[in-house]
Chains A and B, each alone.
Chain A
Amino acid sequence: MFYIRMVLRNIRRHKYKSFFNMMVCIAILGFLNIYTGNLVHTQEQLETISRTIPIKAVITNAAGDAESGLFIHDKRVQSVLHSSNIANAVFTLQSVGYINDSQVSLMAANTYRAFPGMEANNFFSSELNECLVTQSFLDNHHLKVGDEITVEQYYYELLDYIYQNLLPLDTITYTISGVVDEHVDLSAGDSLAPDILLPLNTVRNIYTQNNLTFFADSGSFTAANPLALNQLKEEMHEAGFMEVNSNADLSLDGNSLIIQDSTFIQTAGNLLKGHTVMQNCFPVILLLPILSGFVSSYLITNSRQEEFAIMRSLGIRKSNCIMTFLLENGILLLLSCIPGALPGILLFRIGINTLLLNAALFLFCYLAGTFAALIILSKISIVEVLTKAD
Chain B
Amino acid sequence: MNILKLENVSYSYQTKYQTIEAVKHASFTFATGKMYAITGESGSGKSTLLSLMAGLDLPSEGHIFVNGTDMSSLDRDQYRCREASVIYQAFHLFSLLTAKENVMFPLELRGIPRKEASRQAENYLQKAGLPEKIYRQFPPMMSGGEQQRVAIARAMAAGGKILLADEPTGNLDTENEKKIVELLKAFAHEDGCAVIVITHNPEVAAEADKILRMCDGILTQIQ
Genuine A/B complex = yes
Question: Hey, which bits of chain A sit against chain B, CB under 8 A?
Answer: 2, 5, 9-10, 13-14, 306-307, 309-310, 312-318, 382-383, 386-390
Cβ–Cβ contact A390 & B96, under 8 A? no
CB-CB under 8 A from A5, the residues of chain B are: 108
Cβ–Cβ contact B106 & A314, under 8 A? yes
**Residue B89 at the chain A interface, CB threshold 8 Å:** yes
**Residue B18 at the chain A interface, CB threshold 8 Å:** no
CB distance from B97 to the nearest CB of A (A): 8
With A315-B81, A383-B47 as contacts: A14 and B96 at CB distance below 8 Å: yes
Given contacts A313-B54, A387-B166, 10 further A-B pairs with CB under 8 A are A14-B96, A310-B94, A314-B80, A315-B78, A382-B51, A382-B56, A386-B92, A389-B89, A389-B90, A389-B167
**Residue B105 at the chain A interface, CB threshold 8 Å:** yes
The CA-CA distance from A317 to B85 in the complex, in Å, is 15
> Interface on chain B toward A: helix, strand, loop, or mixed SS?
mixed
Chain B 55-86 against A: per-residue CB contact (8 Å), 1 yes, 0 no? 01100000000000000000001111110011
CB-CB under 8 A from A387, the residues of chain B are: 47, 51, 88-89, 166
* Contact pick for A317, options B47, B77, B94, B171, CB 8 Å: B77
The CA-CA distance from A175 to B107 in the complex, in Å, is 92
CB distance from B192 to the nearest CB of A (A): 21
CB distance from B12 to the nearest CB of A (A): 14
Can you report 30 residue pairs joining A to B where beta carbons are below 8 Å apart? Answer: A5-B108, A13-B97, A14-B96, A306-B95, A313-B54, A313-B80, A313-B86, A314-B80, A314-B105, A314-B106, A314-B158, A315-B77, A315-B78, A315-B79, A315-B80, A315-B81, A317-B77, A382-B51, A382-B56, A383-B47, A383-B48, A383-B56, A383-B57, A386-B90, A386-B92, A387-B88, A387-B89, A389-B89, A389-B170, A390-B90
Q: Whose C-beta in chain B lies nearest to the C-beta of A314?
A: B106
Cβ–Cβ contact B108 & A306, under 8 A? no
CB-CB under 8 A from B167, the residues of chain A are: 389
Q: Whose C-beta in chain A lies nearest to the C-beta of B78?
A: A315
Q: Whose C-beta in chain B lies nearest to the C-beta of A382?
A: B56
Chain B 32-55 against A: per-residue CB contact (8 Å), 1 yes, 0 no? 000000000000000110010010
Q: Whose C-beta in chain B lies nearest to the C-beta of A10?
A: B96
Chain B 112-133 against A: per-residue CB contact (8 Å), 1 yes, 0 no? 0000000000000000000000
Q: Whose C-beta in chain A lies nearest to the C-beta of B84?
A: A315
CB distance from A204 to the nearest CB of B (A): 74
